[in-house]
Chain A
Amino acid sequence: MKNLYKFFSIIIIIIASNSYSFAAEKAEYLKTDWSFKGLFGKFDRASLQRGYQVYTEVCASCHSMKYLSYRNLAEQGGPEFSEAQAKAIAASFEVTDGPNSDGEMFTRPGKLSDKFVMPYENVKAAQAANGGAYPPDMSVLVKARGGGVDYIYSLLQGYEEAPVGVTLDDGVYYNKYMYGNKIRMAAPLSDGLVEYGDGTNATVEQMSKDVTTFLMWSAEPHLESRHQMGFKAIVYLIILTVLVYFSMKKIWSRVESEV
């Protein structure tokens, strides 16, 4: 048993040293309490719905979300809009479909099964409209950045006047959390930019938190069932381990040897 303790402490040291090296790399991120962290972490439903509003009214004019469908908005573990609401959201977008029997492409209102409509036809069009920079797809953005949600949350609030001595080209902005501090995206949020339906005060901080929560869900749509199943699985394994431990002790008591 002594050896097993050693084994686990080595694992813990490895993990601890890993996270240390990540933290040491960049400016200290802003912290907030995320409801989806921890053993029983769940999304804050209202925050997800507000986050979708921020995404669709602000981010979606440049950032695509090509792996999500409108039906996801009504699915369990997500923003959980009612099916009627999700249908209405889908129908508010124009989707290109076809070709029809005449061989023509046509547009129609979106359906639940449609993927999120992209703001640009292709990467080149996105670059042309954004001074050469490509606004990344947001479907898995949170998982594609080292700092995860804390990084995105901080970045949205990290716009500052450039310090003396730093010169910025046209269309480049200063952000203290961005790698190299120079970012092509202008500060996307300002107080009161959106009007929340539930009366929540739309401060930059509030919107940053809501939209980051939404991005976490879009990157990990099954996070809630993962946490629920994980807890059950680990409790089950611990009980089984204890039972097997005592069976082992019983069986090994027949021989004069320690186990």
Chain B
Amino acid sequence: MSDHDYRPKSKVGQWFNDRLPLLTLANHLTDYPTPKNLNYWWTFGGILTFCLITQIVTGLTLAMHYIAHADMAFESVEHIMRDVNYGWLIRYIHANGASMFFLAVYIHIFRSLFYGSYKSPREIIWILGIIIYLLMMAAAFMGYVLPWGQMSFWGATVITNLFSAIPLVGEGIVTWLWGGYSVDNPTLTRFFTLHYLIPFLILGLVVLHIWALHVPGNNNPVGIDIKKPSKDTVPFHPYIVIKDGFALLMFMIVFAFFVFYAPNILGHADNYIEANPMVTPAHIVPEWYLLPFYAILRSVPDKLLGVVAMLSAILILAVLPWLDTSKIRSAVFRPLYKQFYWILVADVLILGYVGAMPAEGLYLLIARVATAYYFLHFLVILPVLGFKEKTLPVPLSITEPVLGGSPNLAAARNKESKIE
């Protein structure tokens, strides 16, 4: 934040900037010193911003044609697909956009896990991110209900019924959520309202997320603190802008492939059957991005404990900065953590896979083992690893990344402990 003494050149600019320092903000955003060794995993922040804006713009357009009524919702979606000009394009971008958004957010989260970006002094950025992620799940779930297909209806029934597990007041809460005694028109209209509201809450939190990021600056693959600005940094514009732009274009090619050539592959066929409260689908499955948590929910035999386990699986991430006791951020210098990291990635993928399968026999057993391991990773392995692990020598700066040896190591360690 070295640019607060910025002064616009023109008189008009100065007059305006003294009253509302927007130009100072713009200058800060262009000059913002960024570590020059950021790899492509760091481009997903920009990609996620693109995803959010895409969802808001396409969503607003869809809302102009969609009718939030139990008798008309399904038909209005077909009207969008058939008769609205480019309605099919807007809807397919919006529907696949949700999947792309989650794909990007999972990469973003796992990047943070690998490079220890959640650690001091970036805990608030991380916690804001977890809140955004929770809101994304809520928005995506409610958005999936709006077409009022079979999966919409029965997904809404299953998920809202989870609240009935709360002792004493559970049943009352479910009735209150539904606005009646079953998922019906009142449920649909309130879900539509909330689905419209949440993205703007997310947008506000994203501003805070970026603001909080700009206080300490970006973490980097080496995971050390760097002087800003210095030989280790480049200004955000043009260096990071063009690099993020390049990565975004690559991402858009994948996105376009899904929209134009496989628009329904990520959805469930049953959602093209209009909701029917009298017919239950053979398997009720959520969208792919919620499957790991669905697997955790079903792996616990008790309903209340299952809900508790599912919520804990997400909320445990919020206290991650304090569960991870290691002073070294980047997994590059943590040989043991690196291995456990990849086991965790595999564990979550396995949970996702069994979440899509019926909860019985071998699948259920695998789900239980994977759930247990998920919690073991965060509650036991991470805290213990910080004390036991022998880490590799950390370089002093990005420009001298290959320097090893004990003097540097000691200095790096000192530097780390000073932050604490």
In the bound complex, how far is the Cα of B91 from the Cα of A220, in angstroms? 13
Known: A226-B89, A241-B249, A245-B246. A255 touches B239 (CB 8 A): yes
Known: A21-B356, A146-B269, A248-B243. A230 touches B249 (CB 8 A): no
Query: In the bound complex, do residue A143 and residue B260 qualify as a contact, i.e. CB atoms below 8 Å apart?
Result: no
In the bound complex, how far is the Cα of B253 from the Cα of A33, in angstroms? 27
**B contact patch SS:** helix
Closest 4 CB pairs of A and B: A230-B260, A144-B272, A241-B249, A143-B272
Binds A, one of B37-45, B172-180, B312-320: B37-45
Query: In the bound complex, do residue A3 and residue B39 qualify as a contact, i.e. CB atoms below 8 Å apart?
Result: yes
Query: In the bound complex, do residue B40 and residue A3 qualify as a contact, i.e. CB atoms below 8 Å apart?
Result: yes
A240 contacts B by Cβ under 8 Å: yes
Which B residues touch A231, using CB under 8 A? Answer: 260
In the bound complex, how far is the Cα of B264 from the Cα of A4, in angstroms? 25
List the B residue with the shortest CB-CB distance to A245: B246
Which B residues touch A4, using CB under 8 A? Answer: 40, 250
In the bound complex, how far is the Cα of B353 from the Cα of A67, in angstroms? 36
In the bound complex, how far is the Cα of B379 from the Cα of A181, in angstroms? 49
**In the assembled complex, how far is the CB of residue A148 from the closest CB belonging to chain B, in whole angstroms?**
8
Interface size classification for chain B: 35 or more
B36 contacts A by Cβ under 8 Å: yes
Can you list 30 A-B contacts with CB-CB less than 8 angstroms, sorted by A residue number?
A: A1-B40, A3-B40, A7-B40, A7-B107, A11-B103, A17-B353, A39-B261, A67-B82, A140-B78, A143-B269, A144-B273, A219-B272, A221-B81, A221-B82, A226-B92, A226-B260, A227-B261, A230-B260, A230-B261, A234-B253, A234-B257, A234-B260, A237-B253, A240-B249, A241-B249, A244-B242, A252-B239, A252-B243, A255-B234, A257-B36
Query: In the bound complex, do residue B273 and residue A15 qualify as a contact, i.e. CB atoms below 8 Å apart?
Result: no
Which B residues touch A140, using CB under 8 A? Answer: 78, 272
A residues neighboring B (CB under 8 Å): 1, 3-4, 7-8, 11, 15, 17-18, 21, 39, 67, 72, 136, 139-140, 143-146, 148, 179, 219-222, 226-227, 229-231, 233-234, 237-238, 240-241, 244-245, 247-248, 251-252, 255, 257, 259
Query: In the bound complex, do residue A15 and residue B265 qualify as a contact, i.e. CB atoms below 8 Å apart?
Result: yes
Query: In the bound complex, do residue A238 and residue B253 qualify as a contact, i.e. CB atoms below 8 Å apart?
Result: yes
In the bound complex, how far is the Cα of B317 from the Cα of A207, in angstroms? 57
B378 contacts A by Cβ under 8 Å: no
Query: In the bound complex, do residue A67 and residue B260 qualify as a contact, i.e. CB atoms below 8 Å apart?
Result: no
Which B residues touch A248, using CB under 8 A? Answer: 242-243, 245-246
Which A residues touch B23, using CB under 8 A? Answer: none
Which A residues touch B89, using CB under 8 A? Answer: 226, 229
